Every structure is written in structure tokens, then in C-alpha cells.
Amino acid sequence: MQLQMIAPVFLVLAIALSWPRLSSIFRSETQIAVATAPLTTIASAVGLSALGLAFAGNGPWLGMLIAVLGLLLGRAAQIPAPPLAVWLAILSLAAYLQLAPTTLV
């Protein structure tokens, strides 16, 4: 039960760590090679999955809190090593999937 309480923290980390690479595809100064790189694609998939899971598994209010905290932390941190950050985002998303309570829809 205690581990399920900290599961949303892993979603916040997954969003924050993938956000710098995910947001790079929306900036005009980003080089085409960076925007179309496989690492950017993976970061986009992780970030969007984490955002979707934040709302799907936690309700609208907690989902909004998770999303906002993740985006603010990702914006504030500006992680300098994108490959390592994306790997940590993948691990955070995997940890959330292991710890989150399962719900039957």
C-alpha cells in the first residue's frame, strides 16, 4: 500500500525527464536532426504516455497536479544530458507501471 502512494512521483519524474526532448520538436530553432532523432521519438512516447496515465489512473484533479508538477520540474531542470534523462524517464515510467494499482475498465 505504501508503494502505491509514491507511484505518482514516478509519473512526475517521467514527465519532467522527457519534457526537454519532447518540447524540442515544437521550437523553431531546433535542428531537423534533433527533432527527428529516435531519442526524441522515444522521449515523446514516454512523455505523452506519462501524461495520459496521470489522468487515466488518478482522476482529473490529481492528474492535473501530476502533469503541472512534471512540466514545471522539466522546465526548471533543463537536463543537460538528454540520453541519460530519457533512460531515466523510461525507468520512471516502468516503475510507475509496476507500482500503480491495477484497475479494470
pLDDT digits (tens, 9 = 90+) for 38-67: 998 999 999 999 999 999 878 899 999 999
pLDDT of the residue at 105? 52
| pTM assigned to the model | 0.87
pLDDT digits (tens, 9 = 90+) for 57-93: 788 999 999 999 999 998 887 766 678 989 999 999 9
Rg of the chain on CA atoms, in Å: 14
Query: What is the b/e burial string over 35-66, where b = at least 16 CB atoms within 10 angstroms of the residue's CB?
Result: eebeebebbbebbebbbebbeebbeeeebeeb
Q: What pLDDT band is residue 104 in, cutting at 50, 70 and 90?
A: very low
Collapsing DSSP to helix, strand or coil, 105 comes out as coil
